[in-house]
Amino acid sequence: MTVADIIEPVDAEFADSEPVVVGRPRLRIVDLIDETLAGVFARPARAALTTLGTVLGIASLVATLGISRTAGNQIVGRFDELAATQVTVKARTSGGGSSSSGSSRRAPLPWNVEPRLDRLNGVVAAGAVAEVSSPGSVRTAPLRDPENITEQLVPVYAASVGFLDAVRGEIVNGRWFDQGHVDRVDRVVIIGTDVADQFGITRLDAQPGIFIGDQLFTVIGILSEAPRDEGLVGSIIVPYTVAQERFATTTPERVVIETDIGAAQLIAGQAAVALSPNAPEGLNVTAPRDPKRTKDAVQSDVNQLFLLLGLISLVVGAIGIANVTLVTVMERTGEIGLRRALGAARRHIGLQFLAESTAMGLVGGIIGASVGILVVVAVASSREWTPVLDLWLPLAAPFAGALVGLIAGLYPSIRAARMEPVDALRAGT
Amino acid sequence: MTIVHPVVVLDAVSRVFDSDPPVEALKDVHLVVQRGDHVAIIGPSGSGKSTLLNVLGLLDRPTHGRYLLDGIDTAVLSDSGRAAERGRRIGFVFQSFHLLPYRTVEENVMLSELYLGTSRKDRRRRAVEALDRVGLSHRRTFEPIRLSGGERQRVAIARALLGEPSLLLCDEPTGNLDSKNTDSVLGLFDELHAQGMTLLLITHDSDVAGRARRRVRIVDGELGEVA
């Protein structure tokens, strides 16, 4: 029997017994993931060192962006919080000659703003204030001592009880006046710390007196700060009833309202009606602009330098991954040959090495993002800032890492896919 | 009537390498391997054994002639089609085992059908069966580095058996083994042959070839049957 005898019948019978061709080899995605993880974790120390470059790059990028965002938000945030919760109401000064001045009635501001405004939902504190016109010079004693400058011209304000809280004032010594002082028209004053320094008043237990013009008042409190009205620390504040009686002060110049965050716009709409139900249009309400944050992050040269460093580390990281993957491909030549012998197509070989380098980049990105966030939190807590991160940053960082790995793996993967199985099997053991 | 195709039909196959001068590694080779055959191909180094193995394993294409594997004309297959047929129909056993380090014995065996897209559960079950068949079920969780040479080759054989291939293609399967391990591996081949597996061994060892039912000698790329 010759070979030809056997072949001929085979050929003749092809028609009715067509052998089934397997077709294209395929690789399940779970198996690819499995092989990838096995490949990466076969040498954990090497994989860890390989991802280090990506970790550093991603970490410095995340940290730089996060810190600049945190710092930028901090500056904006501090400014915002004070301004965004303040509403100021003033009487509309009817400018001379305006035709509307005749029709709109003059609406004097009332002094009793607290009961009118405190019931509005969103008001934290409210108070009225007016500057006392020409109160006279201020001194501690009626004696005129030519060697000591004991006479000062100090601004004097008349205020209602709620004014202290409305300007967020702090009393460092003594107390603020209360409704009892107002009702009894007690001759008491609150002085700012600057005034207290000038007159050498440090203690209040001896009930020090102070002369405004020719009239004696008792100092009951020292105001240390008033963030909404910085000038108050250099002034004297008297209850408005006292000012009405002694200095002929009439109506408040302005009403200051502290609101809850976000309530300023609402209160601004209601305050005029609450204060002057008969002629709300006669009042001028100043409210903060809609709280649109200036999102511009701080763009300093330092930030750009760090971003540049981060990008350079990423490039270095990519080169590292490419290098190690290439070495791995060479080391695993035998494995490549075996896989081809087991039925892997070229694309499966390429895909596997590409997936391994991408996985290393992805892991580097995840670790890098975590490290970067830790750095942001650490820096923020050391400055007592609120750490602020854009949500996209920790989400995008692992993808950036994976992209680095993907790009780095392209060339080694192509090399691996192009290997001839015969050569690969012969070369590898 | 079901037609049983011969597993291998080489019809006037030759393989010429484009070197200067061109080397004709296989010259007009005719070979038919029937299902259940146990064939040894013997020849000195440089005789064309490896080239023949590469052609039979679909790792290399013949320059001239036809190669029918399970009745399929392999010449019409694409590169990826050849990979698929190779994975499905041929089980390779190499001299150097080609086991992956860092992977357990079972994982190494499971690798066999990775590119056929069968489910992992199925592959694991049959890997256990195949390891049982070569007598290594107790080594499933071991890494290859902890196995003896003979055990490693058995793992490789289990891997080759996993997909129920039409042809077990063994390239110097005992080349790295001592005589005791050689005996045990050859004994395993005898068992597989008895179970109906088609085996084709390439070897330069006449003792190994002596265990085969049929011997074919290759010298200078020319094949001749040995009585």
CA distance A410 to A47: 17
> In this complex, do A23 and B84 lie within 8 Å of one another by their Cβ atoms?
yes
Is the pLDDT confidence value at A200 over 70?
yes
Is the pLDDT confidence value at A353 over 60?
yes
Position B206 scores a pLDDT of: 84
* Tens digit of each residue's pLDDT (9 = 90 or more) over A204-229: 888 888 888 888 899 999 998 888 88
Average the pLDDT over each of A67-76, A153-162, A164-173, A381-390 and give the range with the smallest value. Answer: A67-76
In this prediction, residue A290 has a pLDDT band, given cuts at 50, 70 and 90, of: low
> In this complex, do B101 and A42 lie within 8 Å of one another by their Cβ atoms?
yes
pLDDT, chain A, mean: 82
CB pairs under 8 A between A and B: 139
Neighbouring-strand partners of residue A318: none
> Predicted ipTM?
0.94
Position A306 scores a pLDDT of: 77
Residue A317 contacts by C-beta under 8 Å, 6 or more apart in sequence?
A: A51, A52, A53, A54, A55, A56, A57, A361, A364, A404, A408
Position A142 scores a pLDDT of: 58
CA angle A178/A179/A182 to nearest 5° reads 95
Query: Which residues between 361 and 380 in chain A have a beta carbon less than 8 angstroms from any beta carbon of chain B?
Result: none
Query: Which residues between 48 and 67 in chain A have a beta carbon less than 8 angstroms from any beta carbon of chain B?
Result: none
Question: What's the number of CA atoms in the CB half-sphere (13 Å) around residue B79?
Answer: 11
> In this complex, do B87 and A342 lie within 8 Å of one another by their Cβ atoms?
yes
Single out the residue of B209, B41, B172 nearest to residue B94, CA to CA. B172
């209850």: which residue's tokens? A239
Position A304 scores a pLDDT of: 78
State how far residue B187 is from chain A, nearest Cα, in angstroms.
25
Position A248 scores a pLDDT of: 85
Contact call for residues A356 and A39 (beta carbons, < 8 A): yes
In chain A, the N- to C-terminal Cα span, in Å, equals 41
> In this complex, do B114 and A334 lie within 8 Å of one another by their Cβ atoms?
no
> In this complex, do A26 and B117 lie within 8 Å of one another by their Cβ atoms?
yes
Is the pLDDT confidence value at A5 over 80?
no
In chain B, the N- to C-terminal Cα span, in Å, equals 33
DSSP code string of A119-175: TSTTEEEEEEEEEPS----EESSSS--SSS---B---EEEE-TTHHHHTT-EEEEE-
In this prediction, residue A389 has a pLDDT band, given cuts at 50, 70 and 90, of: confident
Is the bond preceding residue A44 a cis peptide, omega within 30 degrees?
A: no
Six-digit token string for B133: 């068949």
In this prediction, residue A289 has a pLDDT band, given cuts at 50, 70 and 90, of: low
Distances (CA, A) of B131 to A26, A178, A312, B93, B161: 25, 93, 51, 15, 9
In this prediction, residue A141 has a pLDDT band, given cuts at 50, 70 and 90, of: low
In this prediction, residue A276 has a pLDDT band, given cuts at 50, 70 and 90, of: confident
Position A9 scores a pLDDT of: 42
Query: Which residues between 9 and 28 in chain A have a beta carbon less than 8 angstroms from any beta carbon of chain B?
Result: 10, 13-14, 16-17, 19, 21-28
- Total residues found in chain B within this entry: 227
Is the pLDDT confidence value at A415 over 90?
yes
Position A303 scores a pLDDT of: 72
pTM of the model: 0.66
In this prediction, residue A390 has a pLDDT band, given cuts at 50, 70 and 90, of: confident
* Tens digit of each residue's pLDDT (9 = 90 or more) over A6-20: 444 444 444 344 566
Task: Give 10-residue mean pLDDT values along chain B (227 residues).
Answer: 82 91 91 94 88 93 93 90 92 92 92 88 92 92 92 94 92 90 91 94 88 91 83
